[in-house]
Structure 1
Amino acid sequence: HCVLLPHRAALRSWFALCIHFLKSSFFKLNLFFMTNCSLFGDFLGQTFCTLGEIIGSTGGRVERTLSGIPGKKCGVIILTAEELSNCRDIATMQLCANKLDKKDFFGKSDPFLVFYRSNEDGTFTICHKTEVIKNTLNPVWQPFTIPVRALCNGDYDRTVKVDVYDWDRDGSHDFIGEFTTSYRELSRGQNQFNVYEVSGGSLFVTLLSFKVESEYTFVDFIRGNPSQPTSLHYMSPYQMNAYAMALKAVGEIIQDYDSDKLFPAYGFGAKLPPDGKISHAFPLSGDADNPNCVGIEGVLEAYFQSLRTVQLYGPTNFAPVINKVANCAAEITDGSQYFVLLMITDGVISDMVQTKEAVVNAASLPLSIIIVGVGPAEFDAMEELDGDEVRVSSRGRLAERDIVQWIMELLYFCCKLSDLRAFAIKI
């Protein structure tokens, strides 16, 4: 994504690709220099590679020499690959600036902003450019929308760098200054902390507004309204839905290891009455002071009652529930209790980075997690949390032990019963 060219400014760009593991992805990369005077751009060179070469290289980084112009050195292109998170949030923000430096001899300035995401190797890649505001020292840019994974790949604390430039017709834009922030800081919206002093002068850039929405897929709709037969939560008068079947099948096994048969039960990803507040860890009983249900049958009753009162809503965040149970487990220091968290999901997860961190933090506690998948979605993210082959890690820290047991699908549940019983005995 980083191009180094002789006699040219360094260029950086990124794009997303779908990988089919069993198919070879062969690429021909042609590089052009685009100008206002050229319809197709000036050809600068080309190279060839496979996606496997990039992903399989050390650090996911490949350097290739550009060729294609006889008798001329075309420079090099550096390609890096990073797996995208499953974060499906989309951020919309608006910024303004004041007290800009006057860069144009016959006018003021023509400012624009360039946003960079930080990469795993410490480099930065352009992820967005604002429009140019002509002849002003106090620009107000139009709101723009960007996928959160493009901005920070779901890592809310990853550095976001913003450069301020003065636009020039010939492309030699004047650098005014820069500042850094993060998605977590931006998500706080307009406040005193989101007024940024730009390096190199008395210029300030201010965040005027910030909002986040979720991008939905067909999976969100098939798991949606419980009154629709297409929903995985459909309450049929004739048979249990997929969630209830999984809850009953697995719950009846693990409940034998509990003495009082009182189970706190939580839902995640719903709007709660009366004000429609979104929650990722709400008690199915509706009582925050007493989330306990009597036996698995009590959990089922609370689940069905909850479907009648809440509105299912994205995103689907795992970390809040894991952290809630982990906090309870952390209070037990004498070894008298052990916690088992059973999570039933359709495979969609929006906060993989935060979930990994929660799992790593919980690995030292008296806690194990069983995840059961239902429905037709892809469950690659769940398999990533199961540390059977590769231990879960977060911020360079490995989980002390494997605390996650992933049960693929209810259709294969009978085949996994032995795994689950072994897991129950092991914990």
Structure 2
Amino acid sequence: MTSVPNQKVELRVSCKSLLDRDTLNKSDPCVILMVQTNGQWTELDRTEVIKSNLHPVFGKVFLLDYYFEEVQKLRFEVYDIHGTHSIGTRDDDFLGGVECTLGQIVAQKKMVKPLLLKYGKYAGKSTITVGFLTFKSDPFMEIYRINDDETEQLVHRTEVIKNNLNPVWEPFKVSLISLCSCDEDRKLKCLVWDHDSRGKHDFIGEFYATFREMQKISSGNKVSWDCVNPKYKQKKRNYKNSGVVILTDLKLHRVYSFLDYIMGGCQIHFTVAIDFTASNGDPRNSCSLHYINPYQPNEYLKALIAVGEICQDYDSDKRFSALGFGARIPPNYEVSVSVRAVSIQGVVEAYQNCLPKIQLYGPTNVSPIINRIAKLSAGDGNIKDASRYHILLILTDGVVTDMADTREAIVRGSYQPLSIIIVGVGNADFTDMQILDGDDGVLRSPKGEPVLRDIVQFVPFRDFKTVSFFFFSVCQSSLVVIQLSFEPLYV
């Protein structure tokens, strides 16, 4: 079994009073670092050559993996280098050597030893100094949620803090749904790593936590966990941990969900936005998704009625906004449609009446509509009074063309009392639309900012032909702000 290095250490060497092997000039010294592996000495690295100097201070820094549970034998050999050729076998090239362990150097911080020639003979007054500079570690941390099926879902990865054994990571925000699915006793697996630019990160340790444990900090208690490397614990009897992760701050912010607003007596404001892009086909053609069949409603009307009839029960004034996108309206052919109706039937009639008067065009941009409704939501005053809630129904026949702007708009809208239902009409491939729905992961803006809560539900209408497809996420959601730090304890 291969050990995993606990840290990396830096060593620097210098020499004094080296033997002068040259007749005309002083020695040109170089130090070679040897390590013992399976009883054999092999060269690990070497310093630069310093010309004509018996008291060299080498600039080269030796970087070594440090295994505190192992005896790591080192040998420093000093040679007089002639020209650019490699070291020869002549005795007069060898200026002395010394053996020690890496643990001795780390413990003493600075080790000074006399150089020895063959057979243990002292090399005059020659000495070598090996200085322990610092531990080198670039720690970061990952938090995984353990799902019911024992799979692990990454919740958060901290930033990397360079060359620091006592990092304090930046606070981060995460919804309680993402963190633990609102289950305060769900296990969280936390891993601490030493970052490697090549991607081969060194494992420092792990621990398990729950959100219930984290909340103890609110009572003034110190919350910390031993960060343990199982391999070290197996090998070394007195091993305690590879450090301690400390929860330095935790804040829980309540985010009001759809059910909270309903229970608080809120009124629903329902808005429907209909796709009038050319990809729907000419409404006069029976193959068009907008074709008005006198005997059977098209899929746009079916979806509108299914959702609208539910929402109207919560809307006291029964006034609904209807918007269109992707159409050109004569005489100026502006790309917009907007009406107000006094019932769902009124919206249906407005939809049917406008079709002969508009030109289906494009593109399929929905971010302006989301931004518009989010702005209305924000203008409703104090969100916490749970008095108003907006539902936006978007009916579209294809993937949106302004995906980046739409993601940004949804992230902004997640801070408002707003839910968005996107229904895919027709037989298009809606795979790319799933990214807008937070069921399979946390939606993020193009800049990486996560949604405050999951406000989008997307579904292809062909999968749900009745009102049963209409649903909201009613799970209570909260926003957690967490800050962690790490203190190493190597025993």
Alignment TM class, shorter chain as reference: 0.3 to 0.5
Greater relative contact order structure (CA < 8 Å, 6+ sep): 2
TM-score by length of 2: 0.38
Larger strand share, 1 or 2: 2
